[in-house]
Amino acid sequence: MARRIRAVVAYDGTDFHGWQSQPSLPTIQGVIEGVLEQIDKQPVAVAGSGRTDAGVHALAQVAAFWLDNPIPAANLKKAMNRLLPASVRILSMDEAQPDFHPRFDAVAKTYEYRIWRAEVCPPFEYRYVHHHPYPLALTKMQEIACLLTGEHDFSAFAAADESDSEERTKVRTIFSSSIESVGDALIYRVRGSGFLKHMVRNLVGVLLEAGKGNFQPNDLTRTLVPGVTTKAGANTAPAKGLTLISVEYTPDKTGIENPSI
Amino acid sequence: MARRIRAVVAYDGTDFHGWQSQPSLPTIQGVIEGVLEQIDKQPVAVAGSGRTDAGVHALAQVAAFWLDNPIPAANLKKAMNRLLPASVRILSMDEAQPDFHPRFDAVAKTYEYRIWRAEVCPPFEYRYVHHHPYPLALTKMQEIACLLTGEHDFSAFAAADESDSEERTKVRTIFSSSIESVGDALIYRVRGSGFLKHMVRNLVGVLLEAGKGNFQPNDLTRTLVPGVTTKAGANTAPAKGLTLISVEYTPDKTGIENPSI
């Protein structure tokens, strides 16, 4: 009888065309499904908590799938980590309730975006940061980051091609949103009920414009209004600075603890 | 008139066949010389403080070269960082005394070797660590690390093909040598007057054997003796865990400050 398995997955997105399987392109979902097919001797469909764009990283993406093979979860984790590329790692693997769905059951997600400020971007960081060695007014950015908190219609921050029929409403709740200076980096951390396609990268685009003095709190107030779908005006920040930090579920649903990060 | 220039260089060695130029293989020295030839419109030979093996990284390698082009050092640094791959960065660039040689004038070098202990090696670490999720007795390793300090004949720790005629003596002085547990990693840090080819990786090989109970202080005493050239017995630890941290010079010679790390 098939078992429902949930996995927490970390990946360096640099060499992948995003999470979602695509024919003849390397994707995270694709390599995981490929390894599971080797183990289960049949195609295995893997569901994720959401798609991440090409180049976006994850410390703890959550995925689930059905498996016929009776291999214990701990052994399955080891077998998968032997077969997967070193840039994709299964951090944990457990039996899940049959109705567990990593996307529909998620109650919160946290993303982090890193902007490297120093003149030279170290060779050990460039895959994971957006290098921006030009003046930015941090207090202006903090002001905007703070105003993003709450329930808003984020249509103006969605990707132009956002047209998923399951996602008619563009209203999302942001529980926390803050940017701080840590060493040579600015780190933007945002936790919310869910995020539209490109939304975090578009929020960072606006934060960068705010830091340059080109986007004011009034501009944001005019933007976070139902019906406003014109793009907020800034560029979508590069994918490589973005990392999915954690996905949260209610304890009754999954028992997954928020991984320590 | 040609100027002597010194540069501090950081690199991720993963995608390179080591420091030293080789025909038709990517090397650090090779890409730097290639960029300088573009700028100076003639071949430019770059000297390093020493060769690093294929896969070894550097936080602060020191290099020097002669340049005819009168471009200010700060602009040269910017131009080179635009032309070099993101995995090689010029951290600083200054005019040097004409007789400055990054190898012969070096008075100390510091290397760090990282051993990842946790069952799963994170996708953001695997390029920079040796993954060894098996039991190791840290106190046994610390004992050997400590005994390495001092002036010894390290013939037993040299590469089998070490035959550089300029390097007849295999006597080196280790100023400090210690290993500690930091999070999920063991970090071995060694500072010495100089190191033979493969020496740090062979020292780490012996530390790993000590951690497994296969190498005792007595074995080291028998090994660090003039005339003993049989290899100390352990495997050479993988290159990817090794990073050149800094190279030191006397202030009168170069004025290079030890970079803050």
A12–B124 CB contact, under 8 Å: yes
Q: Which of B12, B15, B40, B53 is catalytic?
A: B53
Residues of A designated catalytic:
53
Report whether pLDDT(B232) > 90: no
Rounded distance between C-alpha atoms, residue A4 and residue A6, angstroms: 7
Task: Report whether B44 contacts B38 (CB < 8 A).
Answer: no
Positions of chain A with pLDDT under 50: 164-166, 255-261
Residue of higher predicted confidence among B233 and B179: B179
Q: DSSP letter string over A53-93?
A: -TT-EEEEEEEEEEE-----HHHHHHHHHHHS-TTEEEEEE
Nearest CA among A56, A53, A34 for reference residue A45: A34
- A133 CB near a chain B CB, below 8 Å? no
CB pairs under 8 A between A and B: 44
Buried b (16+ CB within 10 A) or exposed e, A92-124: bbbebeeebbbbebbebbbbbbbbbbeebbbbb
Q: Which of B14, B82, B89 to mutate to test the interface with A (most CBs of A within 10 A)?
A: B89
Contacts of B12 in chain A (CB under 8 A): 123-124
**Cβ of A87 under 8 Å from any chain B Cβ?**
yes
Report DSSP letters for A24-57, one per residue: TB--HHHHHHHHHHHHHSS----EESS---TT-E
Chain A hits for B123, Cβ within 8 Å: 10-12, 57, 86-89
Residue in A closest to B13 by C-alpha:
A123
Q: How far is A160 from chain B (nearest CA, A)?
A: 31
Residue limits of CATH 3.30.70.660 in chain B: 108-246
Mean pLDDT of chain A: 91
Tens of pLDDT along B177-215?
Answer: 999 999 999 999 999 999 999 999 999 999 999 999 999
Q: Does B83 touch chain A (CB under 8 A)?
A: no
- Cα separation, B57 vs B125, in Å, equals 13
Q: Is-contact B151 B172, C-beta < 8 A?
A: yes
| Interface residue A12 vs chain B (CB under 8 A) | yes
| Distance, CA of A247 to CA of A49 (rounded, Å) | 7
Give the Cα separation of B101 and B223 in Å (integer): 33
CA proximity to A158, closest of A201, A113, A197, A208: A197
Which of B88, B121, B126 lies closest to A123 in CB terms? B88
Alpha carbon separation from A117 to A121, A181, B35 (Å, rounded): 8, 9, 25
pLDDT in tens, A76-130: 999 999 999 999 999 999 999 999 999 999 999 999 999 999 999 999 999 999 9
What's the start-to-end Cα distance of chain B, in Å? Answer: 35
**Where in chain B is CATH 3.30.70.580?**
3-104
Percentage of residues of chain B with pLDDT beyond 90:
82
Q: Do A126 and B10 touch (CB under 8 A)?
A: no
Q: Are B61 and B247 in contact (CB under 8 A)?
A: yes
CA distance A152 to chain B (A): 34
Q: What CATH fold (topology level) applies to the domain A108-246?
A: Alpha-Beta Plaits (3.30.70)
Query: Higher pLDDT residue, B162 or A29?
Result: A29
Which token pair is B70?
Answer: 């009168």
Report pLDDT for A224. Answer: 86
| A91–chain B Cβ distance below 8 A for any pair | yes
- Quick check: B14 contacting A, CB < 8 Å? no
Residue A122 contacts B, CB cutoff 8 Å: yes
Question: Closest-CA residue in chain A for B90?
Answer: A120
Q: And the tokens for B235?
A: 């495997």
Residue B159 pLDDT: 83
Question: Are B122 and A81 in contact (CB < 8 Å)?
Answer: no
Do strands B106-116 and B130-131 pair parallel, antiparallel, or not at all (unpaired)? Answer: parallel
**Quick one: pLDDT band at residue B255, thresholds 50, 70, 90?**
very low
Reply yes or no on whether the pLDDT at B223 is more than 50: yes
Structure-block tokens of residue B223: 């090994």
The reply to whether B121 touches chain A by the CB within 8 Å rule is yes
Q: Is A28 within 8 Å of A57 (Cβ atoms)? A: no
Distance from CA of B164 to the nearest CA of A (A): 31
A121 and B88 in contact by Cβ < 8 A? Answer: no
CB contact under 8 A, A123 and B81: no
pLDDT at A223: 87
* Nearest CA-CA distance, residue B28 and chain A, Å: 12
Q: Is A88 on the interface with B (CB under 8 A)?
A: yes
In the DSSP assignment, the letter for residue A10 is E
pTM: 0.90
Amino acid at B140: K
Asked if A120's CB is within 8 angstroms of B91's CB, the reply is yes
Give the pLDDT confidence score for residue A252 in this predicted structure: 67
Q: What is the 3-state secondary structure (H, E, C) of chain B?
A: CCEEEEEEEEECHHHCCCCCCECCECCHHHHHHHHHHHHHCCCCCCEECCCCCCCCEEEEEEEEEEECCCCCHHHHHHHHHHHCCCCEEEEEEEECCCCCCCCCCEEEEEEEEEEECCCCCCCCCCCCCEECCCCCCHHHHHHHHHHCCEEEECHHHCCCCCCCHHHCCCEEEEEEEEEEEECCEEEEEEEECCCCCCHHHHHHHHHHHHHCCCCCHHHHHHHCCCCCCCCCCCCCCCHHHEEEEEEEECHHHHCCCCCCC
Q: What are phi and psi for residue B169, nearest 5 degrees?
A: -80, 140
Q: Which two tokens stand for residue B228?
A: 């003993």
The pLDDT of residue B167 is above 60: no
Distance from CA of B218 to the nearest CA of A (A): 38
> Cα(B172)–Cα(B224) distance, rounded to whole angstroms?
11
- Contact residues, chain B, for A81 at CB < 8 Å: 120
A chain contacts of residue B81, beta-carbon cutoff 8 Å = 120
Q: Tell me whether 0.90 is exceeded by the ipTM.
A: no
What is the reported pLDDT for B261? 37
Mean confidence (pLDDT) of chain B = 91
Domain B3-104 grouped into CATH 3.30.450.20 = no
The pLDDT assigned to B251 comes to 77
CA-wise closest residue to B180 among B235, B238, B138:
B138
Asked if A57 is an interface residue toward chain B (Cβ–Cβ < 8 A), one would say yes
Smallest CA-to-CA distance from B230 within B143, B167, B170, B165 is with B170
Q: Which residues of A touch B120 (CB under 8 A)?
A: 81, 89-91
